[in-house]
Amino acid sequence: MDRKIRVVVAKPGLDGHDRGAKVIARAFRDAGMEVIYTGLRQTPEQIVATAIQEDADAIGISILSGAHEYCFKAIIDLLKEKHAEDIIVFGGGVIPETDYPTLLSFGAGAIFGPGTPTTETIEWLEKAVAEKRAKEA
CATH number of the domain that residue 38 is part of: 3.40.50.280
Residue with the bigger pLDDT between 76 and 39: it is 76
128 within a domain of the structure (yes/no) = yes
31 in a domain, yes or no? Answer: yes
Q: What is the pLDDT of residues 40-86, one digit of tens each?
A: 999 999 999 999 999 999 999 999 888 999 999 999 999 999 999 99
For residue 1, tell me if it sits in a domain.
no
User: Please, what is the angle between helix 118-136 and helix 19-30, to 10°?
Assistant: 60
Report pLDDT for 64: 85
103 contacts 111 by C-beta, under 8 angstroms: yes
Q: What is the pLDDT of residues 102-131, one digit of tens each?
A: 999 999 999 999 999 999 999 999 999 999
Q: Which domain holds residue 71?
A: 6-136
Q: What is the number of domains present in the chain?
A: 1
84 within some domain: yes
Residue 30 belongs to some domain of the structure: yes
